[in-house]
Amino acid sequence: MLLRVGLFGGTFDPPHVGHLVTAVNVRHALQLDLVVLMVANVPWQKAGTRPITDSAHRLAMVEAAVADVDGLVAGRAEIDHGGPSYTADTLQHLAVEYPGAALFTIVGDDAAAGFETWERHEEVAARSSLVVVDRPGAPVELPAQFEWLRVEVPRLEVSSTDLRARCADGRPLDYLVTDAVLDVIRTAGLYAGAVR
Ligand code: ATP
Ligand code: MG
């Protein structure tokens, strides 16, 4: 049996319940063996707009978040590769790591709407099935020349941006990130001085 592997890329600064609910529900809906939460090394579309937390800390948080979850794994290939992170390259890497696997690129609706701005996005569409996570009642308009699989997941209005701001001004993150992620944040002293 060939593996079915989902690639869910992100900055994960920090990873939150929105990411986890998405990953487990897409895995279930599309019967994927694995969903790789791939931690971007340099998120080139975000670089320069705000300070990005060190990749080792972001990887540690994702590893903590998925440690006890069946079928979810933290991906470090983009960090190991170094430089800017392009999904086209990462899919090539996964094709070598999981020979013959069917690959699925999973994106949230905001990321899907900007798909055509991705470096070598035609290659991404050729190497993988595109999956967009739909929020109930709010189907996003998608680049029409590509075929998209839509998976509906519960809408959780949580973003890493909001979590960094909460952390910076001392509001609780409980239930928005897992306890294990909270431990990493506290131990490493992340986001204390983060600004919106
Ligand atoms: P930031 O606020 O810093 O942009 P983020 O919360 O959007 O962070 P990212 O790491 O940028 O998180 O997102 C990684 C992927 O997760 C993207 O495909 C994004 O669309 C998706 N995503 C982010 N938040 C949610 C959410 N609450 N529910 C479902 N998908 C989400
Ligand atoms: Mg985002």
User: Can you tell me the mean pLDDT for 117-125?
Assistant: 96
Q: Does residue 119 form part of some domain?
A: yes
**38 Cα to the center of ligand 1, angstroms:** 12
Is a pLDDT exceeding 80 seen at residue 5?
A: yes
Residues present in the chain in total:
196
Q: Does residue 130 form part of some domain?
A: yes
Return the ligand 1 atom nearest residue 155 CA: 28
What is the predicted pLDDT for the residue at 195?
45
Instruction: Find the domain containing 63 and state its range.
Output: 4-155
User: Can you tell me the mean pLDDT for 8-13?
Assistant: 96
Q: Does residue 10 form part of some domain?
A: yes
User: Is residue 140 very low, low, confident or very high in pLDDT (cuts 50, 70, 90)?
Assistant: confident
Q: Does residue 194 form part of some domain?
A: no
User: Can you tell me the mean pLDDT for 14-38?
Assistant: 98
User: Can you tell me the mean pLDDT for 20-27?
Assistant: 98
Is a pLDDT exceeding 60 seen at residue 196?
A: no
Spatial separation of the C-alpha atoms in residues 106 and 95, rounded to whole Å:
16
**1 Cα to the center of ligand 2, angstroms:** 34
Pocket of ligand 1 (CB under 6 A): 10-13, 18-19, 22, 107-108, 110-111, 133, 156, 158-161
- Decide: 65 and 185 in contact? Cβ < 8 Å: no
Number of the ligand closest to the Cα of 140 = 1
β-sheet bridge partners, residue 36? 7, 73
63-99 burial, b for 16+ CB within 10 Å, e for fewer? bbbbeeeeebbbbbbbbeeeeebbbbbbbebbeeebe
Is a pLDDT exceeding 90 seen at residue 45?
A: no
The residue that leads in pLDDT, 135 or 68, is: 68
Q: Does residue 183 form part of some domain?
A: no
What is the predicted pLDDT for the residue at 193?
60
How many structural domains are present in the chain?
Answer: 1
**158 Cα to the center of ligand 1, angstroms:** 8
Identify which of 19, 72, 107 to mutate to test ligand 1's pocket (most ligand atoms within 8 A of the CB): 19
Count other C-beta atoms under 10 Å from residue 46's C-beta.
12
The residue whose CA has the least distance to atom 9 of ligand 1 is 10
Is a pLDDT exceeding 90 seen at residue 1?
A: no
Return the ligand 1 atom nearest residue 153 CA: 29
**Maximal C-alpha separation, the chain:** 50
Q: Does residue 161 form part of some domain?
A: no
What is the predicted pLDDT for the residue at 46?
73
- pTM for the full predicted model: 0.94
User: Is residue 44 very low, low, confident or very high in pLDDT (cuts 50, 70, 90)?
Assistant: confident
User: Can you tell me the mean pLDDT for 55-74?
Assistant: 97
What is the predicted pLDDT for the residue at 137?
62
User: Can you tell me the mean pLDDT for 144-158?
Assistant: 91
User: Can you tell me the mean pLDDT for 146-174?
Assistant: 93
Q: Can you give the CATH number for the domain in which 100 is found?
A: 3.40.50.620
Q: Does residue 72 form part of some domain?
A: yes
Q: Does residue 178 form part of some domain?
A: no
